[in-house]
Amino acid sequence: VEPNTRTDTDRRTYRATKDGEDGPEERPSVALSVQVRDSRMSVALQDLRNTMSSYKRATLEEEEGSDTPAEAESSPDSVEVGFRKGGVDILGRRTQLEVLLSVMLLAALLALLACLVALGLGFSSDSGRGLCLSEACVTVASQIVEAMDRSADPCQDFHQFACGGWMRKNPLPDGRSRWSTFNSIWEQNQALLKHLLENGTFNGSSEAERKTQSYYLSCLNTQRIEDLGAQPLVDLITKIGGWNMTGPWDKDNLMEVLKMVSGLYRAQPFFSVVVGADPKNSNSNIIQVDQSGLFLPSRDYYLNKTANEKVLMAYLDYMVELGMLLGGEKTSTQLQMQQILDFETSLANITVPQDQRRDEEKIYHKVTISELQLLAPAVDWLDFLTFSLSPLELNDTEPVVLYAREYLQQVSELINKTDKSLLNNYMMWTLVQKSVATLDQRFENAQDKLLESLYGTKKSCTPRWQTCIGNTDDTLGFALGALFVKATFDKHSKEIAEEMINEIRSAFKQALDRLSWMDSETRQAAKDKADAIYDMIGFPEFILDPKELDDVYDGYDVSDDSFFQNMLNFYNFSTRVMADQLRKAPNKDQWSMTPPTVNAYYMPTKNGIVFPAGILQAPFYAHDHPKALNFGGIGVVMGHELTHAFDDQGREYDKEGNLRPWWQNSSVEAFRQRTECMVEQYSRYTVNGEHVNGKQTLGENIADNGGLKAAYHAYRSWIQRHGDEKTLPAVNLTNDQLFFVGFAQVWCSVRTPESAHEGLVTDPHSPPRYRVIGTLANSLDFSHHFSCPEGTPMNTGKRCEALGLRQILYGYWAKWSSWSRYQPLDHIREYFGEKIALYFAWLGFYTGWLLPASLVGTFIFLVGFWLVTSDVPAKEESREEAPRLEEVSPWEADYQLLVCEGLLSEYLEMVIQFGFITIFVAACPLAPLFALINNWVEIRLDAQKFVTEYRRPVVERAQDIGIWFSILQFITHTAVLSNAFLIAFTSSFVPRLYYRYTRDITLSGFTNFTLATSPKSFSQQQQNTSCRYQGFRDESGEYLPEYFHLLAIRLSFVIVFEHVVFFVGRLIDLMVPDIPEEVEMKMKREHYMAKEALAENQSLGKTLIPGDEDVLSGELRQRGSRISPLRKDSPPPILKEIPEA
């Protein structure tokens, strides 16, 4: 529900910003965040400890028991009394006829009563077979009914329908900013852990468990904490170098202060440093640096001063009060704390918002320490990292991964231009923030005032022991988890959980087959990744081995009387553990959540999902609950985490956990189209007038939608295998409806307006209300089972799950912006039929081959244009010629788009174009370029006609483009001959060569060489000029020898040109297969599947009736197209069902 549902007092344990939430520590995992600190009893414990259950079994049984006897007592008693009133005396006074009639009437009444009893028994028997009347079913039915609001319309507001009753009966408790069913269960778990730790006979089986009790008791020892007051923190500040706020400080010691504050005590004022798996090489650990430094939950609190003025004032008051409690003077403290707040605001200004950091491929930057030093010179990085990771030896070539490159560069500039006194104040302030939870009541009271402004809570009423349980879980969580697991966890639950995960995984993989927008190569890789997902359930095995558990906490010293020192020791211990990991390979079995945690998460660098013991219990899972509730609870959680492997961030990691682009471009584009829809959908939702951040919550929204779909499909598969299960009594819901109600009731919650605002600006999850509404509004199954008409809020008619085939064709193919993409031929084939698909396949092939021809033609044109001014014959003037009319060949081409009555006009247009640019290309070398540009436009126009203007035509089967292939072959041969004759007889290419090599390699005098005087018999005597023309004749009109030489050369050129072109064409024909490999594979697969299907039908004794062959062939083509390998830029396959995230 929220990233941290611990009580507000528990939140003090770290800082108001929920320390570590935005840092790289959280990077390896993507948590469902049902509740970070909500954990509940296991199924076994719940069976043993009915006193800890919130179910009202006795009341429900008494109500059922009292209703039935009341009905049984009224009817028989009244009949008996009435009968006695008519005693024997009355019968004695009647005639024999009256007696006979009375006997007959009595017999009829008895017969009628017998029939009614029989009907009643039959009805009761039938009802008993259809209802689950076990104690668990009756109890959970009662809880579900109490949580529902029957007056709400499920098609208008399903969250109100499922949770309205729960919200009425669960107002916010005092001192809480939010409350949910999980909070109450977490309190029950806290009570159990309290009992285990405070047990007078406690004798832990390991040293780690005894450390756990000592740590818990040191936190409970408030008297000792009060006696020490602020002195432990004052001594620490003095040890580090002093704080200008409260006393003298070392002005030349800034780097040492940074190393101590950030390295030893993990305060991380300017940036965070951790050691974790390298996202691009998940088999090795690496140093990782990211942005850090803000105390308030989000940069928005600092930058949006108008909306958050109240919070900023409360924060400043809190800072001043803490400074004065540590010995600061009021006026000076106010001034310096205001400077710190201004500095934090400067940090907030350069901090990158979380919704802009979702593309991990873009924010990943791997550098060396020397390169980091050049990027951010304000810090001596080698010295700082060597100290923080002591005793490791580092050098300038040590690799470091940066997740905020621009931030680090800007924070370095900010440090350089900031006064040293302010930098010292700020670093010490971050240390003070981190230490407040370990100090006396005065510091807690100061924080209460800030929390009231920030979260809307009044003074906390949370008992100290609850706060200490949370602290202990944060520090020694696996040792505490060992106590929890041994007391509560049923290992049978682990086996069942593994079975359910496999069922969800199988349903998810089947859903991938229905994601037709995903190409076959990406789909297969996604299936491989789903198979490779490593699941860890319940708890890590080492916690039950005392020696291994002791080894984990070896080196961490815990005392009974100094809670402050225990915290400092833990910071130092965690630093040493982090340094120890750098030279080791990542441990895929390492957990980042403790066993009592009611949560689950996905680790992208390990490609693993984790389900702690805390979540494997009701209402998520109970072995005696209906499967509809189990799949709607833990099933959705499993599907949610599985889907995280394929959300907008998880999809960037392959099955080995490495950050690399393994999706094909077409699938990436289709995925982005779908996610854009989801961003828009959730961004329309508002809480108290404030919009949800659809980009920030995208990953979790994808996981919610995908998890619900996978879980529901897994449930339906279970029903198909085992048959329908019994329904719950009194809920008046089918089991399918119960699935959705159970899912929705997981998210029942209430919270203050301030807490809701904080969630909107910081939480990567949508508010609980919209995790229900948004997810179910995208579910076609939900709309079907609750009969929600289109146009209602829960069935808007526009779901972000599906893109229709026509939508895909328009968005991916027919848009002008799609000119550079490969055509979605499989989609065109399925939607329009093979005949139209073949036309576009040929048109695309033809257009593609125009590209080299247009380049050559353009080059020839440009060369000719460049040489026209230096051409010697062009500068020569011939003898005078009589003026004559210029003859121009006419050109007219006007093709009208027609109604789709066939492809004749389409083919004819392109074939004629092909004829022009091939037969006459020698006359106009630019023709291929013009044709290429025309065909780029033509493909989009034809696509738009077929997609947006034409009604879907009747599908026609075809093997090839038919007679057009023969026509194109004829045009090709004709074009070779025509271009040979054009070049030989109409251009000056051959005459120039002849003249050059017969005139000492010069073209001087070429123009008059080509001209001849008209014979006198043809001369016009009335004119004083003579006609000169190209002809190589003498004055008598006879051909010159040069004419015959040129004629022979021209004919020879034609023969040589034709042979060379046909040889090259034959060579290309041999090198380029007639059928592309991918198409050949598809054809072979269709042929194989057809034979397989035929054999299957024959083995079953079936015969194909007329028409079945076409249906079978169509199905095989569709199946073949979904599994065929596509190009990297191939389009999304057809979306027949809602896609999973």
The pLDDT value given to residue 747: 92
Mean pLDDT to the nearest integer, 791-805: 76
Work out the mean pLDDT of the chain and round it to a whole number. Answer: 79
Examine residue 619 and say whether the peptide bond preceding it is cis (omega within 30 degrees of 0).
yes
The pLDDT value given to residue 114: 56
The pLDDT value given to residue 743: 95
Residue 926 has pLDDT above 70, yes or no: yes
Residue 684 has pLDDT above 70, yes or no: yes
* Cβ neighbours of residue 808 closer than 8 Å, sequence gap 6 or more: 517, 670, 824, 827, 1131, 1132, 1134, 1135
User: Among 217-231, 411-425, 813-827, which stretch is predicted with the lowest mean pLDDT?
Assistant: 813-827
Mean pLDDT to the nearest integer, 784-808: 79
Higher pLDDT, 320 or 969: 320
The pLDDT value given to residue 59: 22
Quick one: pLDDT band at residue 84, thresholds 50, 70, 90? very low
Mean pLDDT to the nearest integer, 1017-1031: 53
Give pLDDT tens digits for 54-71.
322 222 223 333 333 333
Higher pLDDT, 1138 or 910: 910
Residue 363 has pLDDT above 90, yes or no: yes
Residue 825 in tokens: 């031929």
What does the domain layout of the chain look like in residue ranges?
A: 230-438, 811-873+897-1014+1027-1071
Helices (H), 582-613: none
Mean pLDDT to the nearest integer, 1024-1032: 56
Contact predicate 464/222, CB 8 Å: yes
Q: What SS3 class is residue 382?
A: helix
Q: How far is 506 from 497, CA to CA, in rounded Å?
A: 14
Q: How far is 290 from 272, CA to CA, in rounded Å?
A: 5
Residue 99 has pLDDT above 60, yes or no: no
Q: How far is 594 from 233, CA to CA, in rounded Å?
A: 29
Give the DSSP H/E element, type plus range, for residue 901: none
User: Among 474-478, 594-598, 799-803, 1093-1097, which stretch is predicted with the lowest mean pLDDT?
Assistant: 799-803
Contact predicate 650/644, CB 8 Å: yes
Residue in the block written with tokens 């205001």:
338
Q: Which residues are catalytic?
A: 641, 704
Residue 197 in tokens: 């730790």
Quick one: pLDDT band at residue 1075, thresholds 50, 70, 90? confident
Mean pLDDT to the nearest integer, 562-588: 93
DSSP 8-state secondary structure symbol assigned to residue 264: I
Identity at 577, one-letter amino acid code: V
Give pLDDT tens digits for 687-723.
999 999 999 999 999 999 999 999 999 999 999 999 9
Buried b (16+ CB within 10 A) or exposed e, 610-629: bbbbbbbbbbbbbeebbbbb
User: Among 69-73, 488-492, 1083-1087, which stretch is predicted with the lowest mean pLDDT?
Assistant: 69-73
Phi (first) and psi of residue 700, to 5 degrees: -70, -35
* Cβ neighbours of residue 885 closer than 8 Å, sequence gap 6 or more: none
The pLDDT value given to residue 494: 85
Contact predicate 1136/810, CB 8 Å: no
Task: Using CB atoms within 10 Å of the CB of residue 737, give its burial: 0 to 12 exposed, 13 to 18 middle, 19+ buried.
Answer: middle
Find, among 965, 838, 841, 980, the residue nearest to 914 by Cα: 965
Q: How far is 243 from 340, CA to CA, in rounded Å?
A: 13
Identity at 308, one-letter amino acid code: N
Quick one: pLDDT band at residue 113, thresholds 50, 70, 90? low
> What is the DSSP annotation of 681-707?
HHHT-EETTEE--TTTTHHHHHHHHHH
Phi (first) and psi of residue 228, to 5 degrees: -75, -35
Taking each helix axis as running N to C, give the angle between helix 464-488 and helix 207-220, from 0 to 180 degrees, rounded to the nearest 10.
160
Give pLDDT tens digits for 1100-1137.
555 555 555 555 555 555 554 444 444 444 454 443 34
The pLDDT value given to residue 181: 78
Q: How far is 242 from 963, CA to CA, in rounded Å?
A: 92
Residue 396 has pLDDT above 90, yes or no: yes
Identity at 528, one-letter amino acid code: D
* Architecture of the domain spanning 230-438: Orthogonal Bundle (1.10)
Higher pLDDT, 203 or 1052: 1052
